[in-house]
A and B are shown apart, each in its own frame.
Chain A
Amino acid sequence: MSDTLVETPVPVEPARKRRNWAKIAGVAALLVVLVFFPVITGTEVAYLKAGQYVLIGVVGAVGLTLLVGQAGQLSLAHPFFLLVGAVSYAVLAGDAGESGDLVGLGLPPLVAMIGAVAICALVGLAFAPVSGRLRGIYLGVASLSLVFLGLYLGQSLDMLSGGTSSGRPPPTFEVFGFRFANTEPAPTIMGVAIQKQQRLWYLFLVIAIGSYLLARGAVRSRVGRAWRAVRDNEAAATAMGVRVWWSKAQAFTVSSAFAGMAGVLTALWLDLVKPDENEFIGTYSITVAIGYLAMVLIGGLGSIPGAVAGAVVVNGLPQLLTLGATEFGWFASAGAGGLSPVLVSAFVYGAAIVLVVLFEPGGLAAIGRRLTSRQGDRR
């Protein structure tokens, strides 16, 4: 939220080439690992599931860091847009005939996914009168009201959401006849059958990479510059010819669309769309709002790679610790009053937030930049 965090690519000539090669090698290695992740996990599908969960976090966090970091609008409304995205997908793709009282339009899943994202963008735009007028903490708390509203609407409109009792199953995703479900026979990669979970991994991976590139494009474009100008000084931005109101509304809309996509992925990941039972614990709860905020803070406000790192910490850690707990007997003494994986993760990310604000306002992204620019070319 302060100008120290702006990521502006400044050309630094001498060391640039060497660094680029290192970066390219790093990106390529990372991509290879990601592409072969289902092979690496093999039959241990649980780890693949955890990986998918991290990718959902990536999509959501990238959207939030645009809003909070680039445009300077504090929002706790992310879970609301996750819910809207998930429900919209189920409604648009759902089969009306099959499930009694539920509304379903029976659109092709790909169309439904795009439609769900569009609906979230529109809802985000509709919030513009509020998001455009309020600043800082006022906006943060105001946006929290959407989470409460989402809980209320989710519970009341059960012909859409399926209700809190049983929810509704999201239709299986499908692109041009290729179904993201188990089939017999299944294709294999190096002996590992590519079934539902492996397919979902690739779907999520493609969407996460797409989100990353889109967000980076936005940051480097005119739109991103306008966001930063408004964030740093509204009056000055106006003087420079930026339409402040529109720029703010734009940021909220874009961020909501990302959250909506994360919501669709959440539905596919859980095989379920179901509003929460209360506002504090659940898939679309205040805990999740704070989790997403933690991702972008830990990663470094406004930084796209930072948001990815934040998602790995906040969404990945509890999952990995939980899996380790049963596989290796960590936290064996957990019971009432003991340490649990969820508790330890909360401690870690709580402490990470505090440490980042105290010592490294640029977050993991700044640490990463410093490490990769060791060779003396600090920008």
Chain B
Amino acid sequence: MITRWGRAALVGASALLLAACGSTADTGSSGTSGAGGVKTDKGVTDSTITLGVMTDRTGVFKNLGDALTGGNELWVKDINAAGGICGRQLALEIVDHGYKADTAKTLYPQLEPKILGITQLVGSPVLAALKQNLVDDNVLTAPASWSSEVLNNPNVMMIGTTYDVEIIDGLSYFQQQGFIADGDTIGHIYIDGEYGGNGLRGSKYYAEKHNLTVQEAKITSTDNDLANIVTGLKGAGVKAIVLTTTPGQTASAMANNAALGLNVPVLGNNPTFDPALLSSPAAASLDRLYVAASSAPFSSKTPKAAEVAAEYKATYPGRPANAGVQAGYVESLVWQSVLQKACENGDLTRAGVQSALKSLTSVSTDDLVAPLDYSSPGAPPTRGVYIAKVDQAAEGGLTEVAPLFTAPDAADYKAPHQQP
């Protein structure tokens, strides 16, 4: 009975629908002229430039998300105090997706009309789910993820170098120090996904160049007990271990490296280490961990990094302190260069911002990261890293052991989406 009436209702509704139908094209707006004769479209008014932040404040990366957002907010405060950009004040539109791609997918259409671009986007599942949206809407995005796999997206603005390059530089350092030699076996424990997989690409490249054998161990982000893996690596006689893992997994790898009597040097990059590990039961076994990263750590002596750290601690006393603060600040600093360039060109539209980015060949960030070159699409904007070693005595737990350098192997490396 309902079926028949349901069908009738459906037909009726369809008729209504048809009656209401028409056809118009979108008003194909390509920017209007605003204050100061600058062309604008979305996210920019005569008084304000709004940037989006899609962060994680309640999910698994809430510590990182809070620190990054803190860095973004500090920059907004600083830049507004200095009079803004292009005669406009800066504002952030912050949303929390809790590291869930489905939540982010719903939040995005709510956020998109309000912003010019995105200054922080946390989470590789989120970035993957929004990839097409970012391209369709031409939204320039600085992701808090440093995988060279995403560089095929023209709307991604990489800040610093990528995971694969960090590992190549780090292994070069290990060889230079005599930890490994051509023909050795090394282990690589990696989280399957953008982060770990991209790191592994670096190991494989270096291994090919130097005839190393790589014992790979694929894990998920929730596997925290690596005893069985390290047992296997010991059996394989590895001379060094590379990690692209979470800090908790790093602790397990280090603890087992010591407990099982393997005691080889271990190479990680920025996300592998968190100062909180120094108060975990694994603290005593961390001293063989080296970190290769293109950005300065929280405790860095680089003047700008120290200044940001001090300002952060004063402004947000309760919030977590980690390298995310400077990373967030530097994300926004690069945006600043882009916006200033776009303002000079008189075009603050999304397209204008894109072309401004491509014209930048050496963005300086007060040494928070190496100078960045955005003129060659698909390639990491820099290949330089610092090497730091875990040191209980140092503030933030890391001491710099090698200054900013680019290994010859890293310079020759061709990133997956690099144009020839």
Instruction: Decide yes or no: A27 and B2 within 8 Å by CB, A165-B198, A334-B57, A336-B62 being known contacts.
Output: yes
List residues of chain A with CB within 8 A of the CB of B6.
24, 27-28, 31
Q: Which residues of A contact B110 (CB under 8 A)?
A: 44-46, 323, 326-327
A257 at the interface (CB under 8 A from B): no
Knowing A278-B222, A334-B96 touch, does A272 contact B107 (C-beta < 8 A)? no
> Among the listed stretches A61-69, A125-133, A230-238, A280-288, which one makes contact with chain B, having 4 or more residues with CB under 8 Å of it?
A280-288
| CB-defined contacts of A373 to chain B, threshold 8 Å | none
- Which residues of B sit under 8 angstroms from A325, Cβ to Cβ? 96
Q: How many residues of A contact B (CB 8 A)?
A: 67
Interface string of B145-166 (1 = CB under 8 A from A): 0010110000000000000000
A39 (CB) vs chain B CBs: closest residue: B20
A-B residue pairs in contact (CB < 8 Å), sample of 29: A23-B2, A27-B9, A32-B9, A32-B13, A35-B13, A36-B13, A36-B16, A45-B110, A46-B106, A53-B106, A165-B147, A165-B149, A165-B193, A185-B24, A188-B24, A190-B20, A197-B109, A274-B125, A274-B128, A277-B192, A323-B107, A323-B110, A326-B95, A334-B57, A335-B57, A336-B58, A336-B320, A340-B96, A343-B58
Given contacts A190-B20, A270-B101, A282-B125, 14 further A-B pairs with CB under 8 A are: A35-B14, A46-B109, A46-B110, A151-B220, A166-B194, A188-B22, A270-B102, A278-B220, A281-B100, A283-B101, A322-B103, A327-B110, A336-B66, A342-B100
Cβ–Cβ < 8 Å partners of B198 in chain A: 165
B105 CB-CB contact with A under 8 Å: yes
Least Cβ distance of A42 to chain B in Å?
Answer: 12
Contacts A165-B198, A185-B23; A277 near B221 (Cβ below 8 A): yes
- B129/A271 in contact, CB under 8 A: yes
In the complex, A357 has a CB within 8 A of chain B: no
On whether the beta carbons of B220 and A31 are closer than 8 Å, the reply is: no
A276 to B194, CA, bound (A): 11
Contact flag A188-B23 (CB < 8 Å), given A27-B2, A342-B100:
yes
Q: Are B111 and A24 in contact (CB under 8 A)?
A: no
A88 at the interface (CB under 8 A from B): no
Are B20 and A189 in contact, with the CB atoms below 8 A? Answer: yes
Contact of B99 among A32, A269, A281 (CB under 8 A): A281
Q: Which chain B residues border A190 with CB–CB below 8 Å?
A: 20
Interface flags for B97-137 (1: CB within 8 Å of A; 0: not) read: 11111110111111101000000000011001101110010
A327 to B14 alpha-carbon distance, docked (Å): 32
- A-binding residues in B (CB < 8 A): 1-3, 5-6, 8-10, 12-14, 16-17, 20-26, 28, 57-60, 62-63, 66, 95-103, 105-111, 113, 124-125, 128-129, 131-133, 136, 147, 149-150, 191-194, 197-198, 218, 220-223, 319-320
Q: How far is A27 from B101 in the complex, measured between Cα atoms in Å?
A: 33
Smallest CB–CB gap between A207 and chain B, Å?
Answer: 14
Known A23-B2, A165-B147; judge A323-B21 contact (CB<8 A): no
Per-residue CB proximity of A312-334 to B under 8 Å, as 1/0? 00000011001101110000001
Whether, in the assembled complex, A93 has its beta carbon less than 8 Å from a beta carbon of chain B, the answer is no
Q: Which A residues lie within 8 Å of B12 (CB)?
A: 28
Select one of B111, B136, B149, B191 contacting A277, CB under 8 A.
Answer: B191
- Determine whether the beta carbon of A272 is less than 8 Å from that of B131: yes
Which of A213, A282, A323 is B106 in contact with, Cβ under 8 Å? A323
Would B21 and A188 count as touching, CB distance under 8 A? yes
Proximity string of chain A (179-208) to chain B, C-beta cutoff 8 Å, 1 when within and 0 when not: 000101111111101000100000000000
Contacts of A283 in B (CB 8 A): 101-102
Asked whether any CB of chain B lies closer than 8 Å to the CB of A4, the reply is no
Given contacts A31-B9, A185-B25, A336-B57, is CB(A326)–CB(B111) below 8 Å? yes
B415 to chain A, nearest CB (A): 14
A272 engages B128 (CB within 8 Å): yes
Q: What's the least CB distance linking B345 to chain A, in Å? A: 27
A166, B66: Cβ atoms under 8 Å? no
Q: Is A169 an interface residue (CB 8 A)?
A: yes
User: What are the residues of chain B within 8 A of A70 when measuring CB–CB?
Assistant: none
Please determine whether B103 and A319 come into contact, CB atoms closer than 8 angstroms. Answer: yes
Task: Known contacts A27-B6, A270-B129, A281-B99; decide if A49 and B109 are in contact (CB<8 Å).
Answer: yes
User: Across the interface, do A165 and B197 meet the contact criterion of CB distance under 8 Å?
Assistant: yes
Residues of A within 8 A of B10 (CB): 31, 209
Q: Please measure, in the bound complex, the distance between the C-alpha atom of A163 and the C-alpha atom of B191, giving whole angstroms.
A: 12
